[in-house]
Amino acid sequence: MPGSALAAAGLALAALLLATGLLSPLQRLASDGLVRLAAASPPAPPPGLPDVALVALDPQSLRVFPDWPWSRELYARALERLDAAGARAVGFDIDFSTPRDPSGDARFTAEVARSGRVVLPAFRQQQELPGGGALEIANLPFPALARSAAALGSVLMPVDPDGVVRLAPRGSSVNGRELASLAEAALAVALHEPAGPRAGGRFRVDYRRAQPAIPVLSIADVIEGRFDAGVVAGRVVLIGATAAEFQDLWPTPLGPARPGVWIQAVALRTLAAERAGLPVLREAPAAAVLLAAAVLCAAAAGLGRLSPGRRAAGAALLLPGALVASVALTRQSGWLLDPVVPLGAAAVQYALGLERVRERLGRVAAQRERSLATLLRVGEAATTPAAASPLEVALALLGDVVDASGVALLRAAPGVGLDGRRLEWRRRGDAPIGAAEAAEAALDARATRVFEGALPGAPSRRGVAAYTPLFAGELAVGVLVVEREGGEALDAMQLRTISTVGTQIALTAENLRLLDGLRQTFDSSIEAIASAVEARDGYTEMHCRRLAVFAVAMAERLGLAPEEIEAIRLGALLHDVGKIGIRDEVLLKPDRFSGPERAEMERHAAIGHRIVEGIHGLTSTTASCVRHHHERWNGCGYPDGLAAEKIPLGARIVAIVDVWDALSTARPYKPAYPQERVRELLRKERGEQFDPDLVELFLAILDEQGEEMLALLDAGRAA
């Protein structure tokens, strides 16, 4: 068959594939790959139009305000803060269809009406009926709230057959009302335009515009005013759930599942770019696909006149050439002209199996997916508490994704270079990973160095090793070493993955160093407060520190979590901070107190609680130790008269150690009691003043390690 006839046959096959949609799953995969590749060079933002920011109902917010569902008073406070910060419009992706508490609903309704820039959500959902079938339910804000909004916006998003969100509707019908999408309505309100739906059905969400990263604020920080107003000033703000508990996470062409409100934000950027006349993602017309198929089929037909070797080389260039052209077209014009159908037609014409094309595309997409997923998991490891350190998790993830035999982070200190510290991950064996000399050379050169053959520092082993220097700005963090035993080299994508993940590891390591510094500063501040309390009452020098040491020992014996133990330690250090508010003539009185004086002295627990509850970073456990360390097991204590297990555990611990130390030391109104007498008094108060089980635990600790702990405290004081 002549070459022209072959090209015509290939073109006919391309038309058939387009018409039948047989390759739709593969086309979606290829289009997603194009989007990810094009997203590496994001398009320019639309000039003169507002950008978007997110306010997230994230895990932090659920910890700060645990009573879910929240009173709408909290949303009113958040809206008031955002308005004051200069938000152009505020869109909610939160269900307000049911009234909740009258006062909170009324406050939120009034704040929405006052703002005049709020878009509230609307959606519909299917409810299965007992006898079969389904009932469609429209969810609109309750009437008073709906009337107060500047507009309503539909939050419905279509999902493709493979579960990925690629398209967004310009509007939807909800309960018979034609509503613009939430993104469309919020942008219209920000521009002081009518918020009705525009014609055009659905549009492709331009995920290239996910960069630059959309600013995200925790709603807890917004409610409490702990945010930079510049993040939202002049922007459209969308408020919605990002915590996994809300089950509003959806796969996107960029890879890992993303929150629905984040997808709405990217859709808003897409609509803004449309308004500005900038190119946005859209499907290439069938004519363009057929034209590409015709070009490739003609090229494939021409290869038939070449020698077998050149013919195979030319055929091998068709795929990368088509990919490069498709990516360039997507970056420049937004056209998604995936090469699957054109290449499929050319491949069949050239007697290549369509499966080979699919596998090639699949491998490229899968490798990039693994790289992106690794970056995301490394970022999550840096911010999520875990049993292993974030750096150890990152090394293990990197080792898996590049199929390494071992990965190591050789740490560096400012002005010193490599300092001997290292973290290692091995797939097997116990041989050290990396050689200091090769790492120093990479650090000095500030460039990745790849060795093949005998591994540096281990001539008995052969393979490939990549040494990548890590910097946070100009600060040397260390060298990342990736070793793979055997003869298979690291390919270009794996080297890029190592470099990219290494950058994330460097930032994580530097952030951990800064966090350690902040923690040390915080601890020093708490110690300074404790010292101030002890200095004011000269008879109780080292009292707070002794309490902290023994309270920690008890908490550890009880098997409490490290965070709880630390909170109790801080509570012990600060338990008497309220004495700062007691007059000297009462606090320093050498005799026993009169009735009014005792009442004034007992105020120190409540005063201390007011002082510490406003310190950011202290937990409720610490605050409860300060407030309740004078409560009694029988309910006769102060300030709240709590009894038995209603007294917080940390306060029960501090109470026992506090009384033991007071009895064991000399005071102006009494001498120090002998330890036998102190133990007798503690046991006498079991079940009256103290938790009986905790008294026995404390006495056991005194017997086993009390002298050693006190000696260490005295040594520290002398030093």
pLDDT at 89 over 60: yes
pLDDT at 500 over 60: yes
Rounded to whole angstroms, how far apart are CA atoms 6 and 295? Answer: 12
Please tell me which residue, 354 or 234, carries the higher pLDDT value: 234
3-state DSSP helix/strand/coil percent for the chain, to nearest 5?
Answer: 55, 15, 30
Non-local CB neighbours of 687 within 8 Å, separated by 6+ positions: 633, 634
Tell me which residue of 144, 150, 146 sits closest to 194, measured CA to CA: 150
Please tell me which residue, 347 or 420, carries the higher pLDDT value: 420
Tell me which residue of 340, 388, 382, 385 sits closest to 362, measured CA to CA: 340
Q: Any idea which residue has 């005792």 for tokens?
A: 598
Lowest mean pLDDT among 197-206, 365-374, 653-662: 365-374
pLDDT, position 541: 53
Q: Residue 21: pLDDT band by 50, 70, 90 thresholds?
A: low
Q: What class has domain 537-718? A: mainly alpha
Non-local CB neighbours of 69 within 8 Å, separated by 6+ positions: 100
Tell me how crowded residue 631 is: count the other CB atoms within 10 A of its CB: 26
Enumerate helices (H) and strands (E) in the chain, giving the number of each. 26, 20
pLDDT, position 381: 46
464 in helix, strand or coil? strand
* All structural domains of the chain with their residue ranges: 3-40+282-352, 52-127+134-275, 372-513, 537-718
Question: In whole numbers, what is the pLDDT of the chain averaged over residues?
Answer: 79
Please state whether 65 falls in left (phi above 0), alpha (psi between -120 and 50) or beta.
beta
pLDDT, position 547: 85
Kindly state the tokens that stand for 13.
């096959």
pLDDT, position 336: 75
Q: Does residue 395 contact residue 424 with C-beta atoms inside 8 Å?
A: yes
- Cα angle: 41, vertex 293, 362; to 5 degrees: 55
Kindly state the tokens that stand for 402.
């590049």
Please tell me which residue, 386 or 598, carries the higher pLDDT value: 598
pLDDT, position 297: 65
Burial class (CB in 10 A: 0-12, 13-18, 19+), 113: middle
Beta-sheet strands, E only, within 337-434: 406-413, 417-426
Q: Residue 34: pLDDT band by 50, 70, 90 thresholds?
A: confident
Q: Any idea which residue has 């520190």 for tokens?
A: 545
Lowest mean pLDDT among 9-23, 226-240, 558-572, 578-592: 9-23
pLDDT, position 383: 46
Rounded to whole angstroms, how far apart are CA atoms 297 and 291? Answer: 10
Lowest mean pLDDT among 104-113, 351-360, 437-446, 562-571: 351-360
Q: Residue 663: pLDDT band by 50, 70, 90 thresholds?
A: confident
pLDDT at 196 over 80: no
Q: What is the CATH number of domain 372-513?
A: 3.30.450.40
pLDDT, position 341: 63
* Alpha-carbon dihedral 531, 532, 538, 542, rounded to 10 degrees: -10
pLDDT, position 295: 66
Tell me how crowded residue 76 is: count the other CB atoms within 10 A of its CB: 22
pLDDT, position 2: 47
For the chain, report the end-to-end CA distance as a whole number of angstroms.
96
pLDDT, position 712: 55
**Tens-digit pLDDT profile for residues 580-615:** 777 777 776 767 778 887 888 788 888 888 887 877
Beta-sheet strands, E only, within 375-523: 406-413, 417-426, 449-455, 458-472, 475-485
The secondary element (H helix, E strand) that includes residue 115 is helix 102-115
Lowest mean pLDDT among 83-87, 210-214, 471-475: 471-475
pLDDT, position 391: 72
Q: Does residue 178 contact residue 156 with C-beta atoms inside 8 Å?
A: no
Q: Does residue 184 contact residue 44 with C-beta atoms inside 8 Å?
A: no
**Tens-digit pLDDT profile for residues 92-133:** 999 999 998 999 999 999 999 999 999 999 987 665 556 655
Rounded to whole angstroms, how far apart are CA atoms 552 and 537? Answer: 24
Rounded to whole angstroms, how far apart are CA atoms 468 and 505? Answer: 11
Kindly state the tokens that stand for 625.
């130790």
Q: Does residue 179 contact residue 154 with C-beta atoms inside 8 Å?
A: yes
Please state whether 122 falls in left (phi above 0), alpha (psi between -120 and 50) or beta.
beta
Please state, in angstroms and as integers, the Cα–Cα distance from residue 568 to each residue in 137, 575, 645, 686, 697, following that order: 50, 10, 16, 21, 16
Residues belonging to the chain: 719
Q: Does residue 434 contact residue 420 with C-beta atoms inside 8 Å?
A: no
**Tens-digit pLDDT profile for residues 423-446:** 888 887 777 888 888 888 888 888
Please state whether 504 falls in left (phi above 0), alpha (psi between -120 and 50) or beta.
alpha
Kindly state the tokens that stand for 369.
């997916």
pLDDT at 228 over 70: yes
pLDDT, position 386: 43
pLDDT, position 357: 35
**Tens-digit pLDDT profile for residues 313-332:** 666 666 677 677 777 777 77
pLDDT, position 716: 45
pLDDT, position 543: 78
Q: Residue 312: pLDDT band by 50, 70, 90 thresholds?
A: low
pLDDT, position 359: 46
Q: What percent of the chain has pLDDT over 70?
A: 74
pLDDT, position 131: 60
